[in-house]
Amino acid sequence: MYIITEGENTEPSYFENIVTQLRDKLKVKVKIEIAFHSSIFYILKKARSVELESGDEVWIVLDRDENFHHAEDMKLLADWEKESKQHHVALTNPRFELWLLLHFEECPSKQHALSESYLEEKGYIPNFFQNGKRINSDTPLSLDMLQNAIRRAKKGSCPTPQKPDCIGSGMYKLMLRLMKLVGGD
């Protein structure tokens, strides 16, 4: 499984945290790659550079935050996703922080997801913006919290390249897939 992130800090460190917790159960190799550019053109270029073998999957993880993606960009993503059953997109609107909040709160608001300090202020992730990677091995994210985030995200809207303006997170689809690959739900 290849996970290509738009973000350079929060998303890769989140996946490293989760994959580390699952390492003894994972039956597949998870490779996290950073696109190093928020442009859909560069994200897709990175995704297309992955040499997939039978059974491999590539997931693009992105959000709508400061790097608002236009309708044309979303169409490119939707077309790429349709090209192969191995291609997937996990989109969060407005920011990846909404997905993180779902680990802690039933119905986080868009306002809190957009806040620069809400995760720290609530004590959910201490030193979130002071830490260069934002999420580290001390971050209190457990697999039970992940299950809660999946359950909460499934209840809400799910933004997709076809419907990118829905407030919610499609991250649960990727995480459900990952949990299935470890023999979980």
- Report domain extents, the chain: 2-181
Strands (E), the chain: 2-5, 31-34, 58-63, 87-93, 168-169
The pLDDT, as a whole number, for residue 126 is: 85
**pLDDT, tens digit (0-9, with 9 covering 90-100), for 45-79:** 999 999 999 999 999 999 986 656 688 899 999 99
pLDDT along the chain (185 residues), means of 10: 91 91 86 88 94 94 77 92 97 94 94 90 86 73 94 92 91 94 70
CB 16 within 8 A of CB 32: yes
pTM of the predicted model, to two decimals?
0.92
How many CB atoms are closer than 10 A to CB 63? 27
